[in-house]
Amino acid sequence: MSMKRFTLTFNITAGDRGKTVRDFLREKDISRTALTDIKFKGGNITVNGTEVRVQRILEKGDILAVTFPEEKRSESMKGELIPLDILYEDEYLLVINKPPGMNTIPSREHSAGSLANAVAGYYEKIGLHSTVHVVTRLDRDTSGVVLIAKYRHIHHLFSRQHQEGNIVRIYEALAGGKFSRREGLIEEPIARKTDSIIEREVNPDGQYACTYFEVIKQYPAFAHVRLRPKTGRTHQIRVHLSHLGHPLLGDDLYGGTVNLIGRQALHCRSISFFHPVLQKNCEFEAPLPADMEELLEPGGT
């Protein structure tokens, strides 16, 4: 199957005439590393269909096309034909609803069966010659929306948005106990526990972490909570809710009861971001999975 190359095309306007190709592409956030790869690893840059050097001066009406080199996937990243719940797809990205119990990327304990393995298999199936660029990860037992860039450059653009706090994820959780406040901000620094590789804790020496929470509905034994993490620390929501005295149902690592659900009751409900190529705001949602939904039904608890 012939492999389609990733190409970005720009129409040069009066405001950009007189700029060099290099300066124009740097303004479009194409990195110096990417330009070097394009030059030496099989990409090309054309103006009006003719290959040019980056010193070329642009004129109004020019059509500038940048074709990126093929991306070689690591030998260790095996493609697997695992069904995917794709919420949205275009030429540049995928938005996927990840089920609970699936790693986002392979780990030492789970070297196969991850979302990344499934995406690699999907790429093979559709003839996309690229590696897997995960923009937003979720813990193995957390379900919900995951954003994946199809190309390194798109991942680079999303990384900028991530750093600036412009990729917004809203979570829903089932947290133990009765909340005394309907909403609030948890601002507590998080650090790795000294005696654990995995576990985190609130620690004054940790990194700044901030989570907004809002109780959707209080049940007798737990609350259905909406959360927006303003930072992205490992296990942030789990640690913050546990610190508040409301550990997630099923989260035995952080003190949650395991008699109602077999995994931490945490779901990434939605994601919103600015599409770096189509230049528009996007928002996607994943419905609550059955194991969480059942606990919210009358008689479910």
| pLDDT given for residue 205 in this prediction | 94
- pLDDT tens, position by position, 107-149: 888 888 999 999 999 999 998 888 999 999 999 999 999 999 9
Q: How far apart are CA 154 and CA 250, in angstroms?
A: 36
Q: Which CATH superfamily is domain 7-67 in?
A: RNA-binding S4 domain (3.10.290.10)
Query: Which of 23, 29, 37, 139 is flagged as catalytic?
Result: 139
CATH architecture of the domain with range 169-268:
2-Layer Sandwich (3.30)
What is the average pLDDT across 260-278?
A: 96
Q: How far apart are CA 113 and CA 146, in angstroms?
A: 16
Widest CA span in the chain: 70
pLDDT band at 85 (very low <50, low <70, confident <90, very high): very high
What is the average pLDDT across 230-253?
A: 95
pLDDT band at 2 (very low <50, low <70, confident <90, very high): very low
State yes or no: pLDDT of 76 exceeds 90.
Answer: no
Q: How far apart are CA 141 and CA 248, in angstroms?
A: 12
| pLDDT given for residue 73 in this prediction | 80
DSSP string, 255-296: T---SS-SS--EEEEEEEEE-TTT-SEEEEE-PPPHHHHHHH
3-state SS of the chain: helix, strand, coil percent to 5?
Answer: 20, 30, 50
Of the chain, the percentage scoring pLDDT greater than 70 comes to: 98
Of the chain, the percentage scoring pLDDT greater than 90 comes to: 79
Q: 246 is written with which tokens?
A: 């409301």
Q: How far apart are CA 2 and CA 102, in angstroms?
A: 31
State yes or no: pLDDT of 100 exceeds 50.
Answer: yes
Radius of gyration of the chain (CA): 22
Q: How far apart are CA 175 and CA 190, in angstroms?
A: 19
- pLDDT tens, position by position, 199-212: 999 999 999 999 99
62 is catalytic: no
Task: Enumerate the domain spans of the chain.
Answer: 7-67, 169-268
State yes or no: pLDDT of 299 exceeds 70.
Answer: no
Local structure of 41: helix, strand or coil:
coil
